[in-house]
Amino acid sequence: MTFKIQISAVAAAALLTTGAYAGDMADACVAALEADGRDTSGCACLEEAVMADAALQEEFLALGEIADPAERYASASDAAKATMDKCTR
């Protein structure tokens, strides 16, 4: 679950800072996770899923406002959790 919490924060931050251009979210995800020595294999999948769904884009932005990682993950909708589960290990 820790990776899923981390990836939701990275996705939200990437959406906020990049203007959500194709590839930017995945690149930001990879950079942030590599800096933490974490697995980056789910970044492209996460970007593809989030960018294809306006509701997920809005939700990941909102989740990025929650400071506590456990609270952030618990606050995610079933759709957001399903996306994280699909894209991460």
Does the predicted TM-score (pTM) go above 0.75? no
Of residues 60 and 45, which shows the higher confidence score?
45
Q: Quick check: 62 pLDDT over 70?
A: yes
- Note the pLDDT of residue 14: 62
DSSP state of 1: -
Q: Quick check: 2 pLDDT over 60?
A: no
**So where are the chain's domains?**
2-87
Percent of the chain residues past pLDDT 90, beyond the cut: 6
Q: What is the mean pLDDT of residues 55-78?
A: 83
DSSP for 53-79 reads -HHHHHHHHHHTT--SHHHHHHHS-HH
Q: What is the mean pLDDT of residues 14-34?
A: 68
